[in-house]
Amino acid sequence: KMGGLWKLLPVTYAVMTIGTIAITGLGIPGVGGFAGFYSKDSIIESAYASAASGHSAIGRFAFFVGIIAAGLTAYYSWRLVFMTFHNKPVWK
């Protein structure tokens, strides 16, 4: 029963958005990214390199699980921000 809280909680909204950008690993072209970008990128890249070398089926599995986990994390994190701060207020 939330929604439309960005007007009432602007500091919380700003900090929550920054935290969501960081945890979802958003990269900015030409600039780089937040910590989540570098940690997820290196883990997924290592799993892909292991799978591409053909030596490890576990590397392929880890790559796909990493991609799915990163996608789900981004989905629920951004859903939280949009439902809490941008959704139609239902608490009025």
How high is the mean pLDDT of the chain?
86
In a domain, 3, yes or no: no
| CA atoms of 35 and 7, how far apart (whole Å) | 28
In a domain, 92, yes or no: no
E strand or H helix at 27: strand 27-28
The whole-model pTM stands at 0.77
Per-residue pLDDT of 28-71, as tens digits, reads 777 767 777 777 888 888 899 988 888 778 889 999 999 999 89
Phi, psi (deg, nearest 5) at residue 27: -105, 145
In a domain, 91, yes or no: no
Number of domains in the chain: 1
